[in-house]
Amino acid sequence: MNLDYSLLAAGNNNYDDIIDNDSLAALTDKALLGLAIREKTMGGEKGAALLEKFGNVAAIASSSAKEISTAAGIRSSGARSLLAGMALGQRAVTCGLPLAITCPKDAFRLFSPLFIGYRQEAFKAACLDSKKRPTLVYDVSLGSIDASFAHPREVFRKAVLRGAHSIFIAHNHPSGHPAPSEEDKATTSRLIESGNLLGIKLVDHIIIGRGCYYSFIEDRTSFF
């Protein structure tokens, strides 16, 4: 059960009393936000102000330090610390997950935390060894998808240098809907051909939505 301000006994609302992994995991979003922006006690309302303004933690993560500072009435340094903590959390989620990419769901688990907070489309890739283990995950580009968004030269550059056996690619749809556009399909087709020429197989291209994904290979398109 999540601990909230109203559930804490009077006189026992100091953050110092609950700093361990189990108690932190039990805190509500409001309480965790209050802790992250250094409210002295859990009776503060700055965390609540952030949730009221932005709606959820994901929306806060995609906001600017200035927007957070204004909404919570805190210094910009505190807002930057909050955003830094969220970025570290995104990186921590990916540690050790997964050991190998054997299916699109594994790729979704690997890539999805990396797109949290993105307001525009971004393109990322993962190099795989012969046992389908990711050896490198890297950014390709940022911006609306077009002919230059995922140019084969940029997609495969690090894969070639890394001596990758194959690659998995992913990009996000900030709208939350992962259905592929015609440009997505054209990009996938072009990258498959490029990978075949280089001898680095493109295993799949997944599109990350809000808590969901689209996989070209699962959809059994003619590309694969």
Report DSSP letters for 90-120, one per residue. HHHHHTT--SS--SHHHHHHHHGGGGTT-SS
Question: What is the rounded average pLDDT of the residues 155-170?
Answer: 94
Q: What is the pLDDT of residue 56?
A: 78
Q: What is the pLDDT of residue 90?
A: 67
Question: What is the rounded average pLDDT of the residues 173-184?
Answer: 90
Q: Is the pLDDT of residue 39 over 60?
A: yes
At 181, list the tokens. 């556009």
Q: Is 168:195 a contact under the CB 8 Å cutoff?
A: no
Instruction: Give the residue, 88 or 84, on which the prediction is more confident.
Output: 84
CATH for the 104-215 domain, from 3.10.20.340, 3.40.640.10, 3.20.20.60, 3.40.140.10: 3.40.140.10
Mean pLDDT score of the chain, rounded to an integer? 81
Q: Give percent of the chain with pLDDT exceeding 70.
A: 78
Q: Note the helical H segments in 144-215.
A: 152-162, 182-198
Q: Which CATH architecture has domain 5-92?
A: Orthogonal Bundle (1.10)
Q: Is the dihedral of CA 216, 218, 220, 224 positive or negative?
A: positive
- Before 98, cis peptide (omega within 30)? yes
The domain segmentation of the chain, as residue ranges, is 5-92, 104-215
How confident is the model over 42-70, as pLDDT tens digits?
A: 556 888 888 888 887 777 887 888 999 99
Predicted TM-score (pTM) of the model is 0.61
Q: What is the pLDDT of residue 45?
A: 83
How confident is the model over 88-144, as pLDDT tens digits?
A: 876 766 565 567 888 999 999 889 888 877 778 889 999 999 999 888 888 888 776
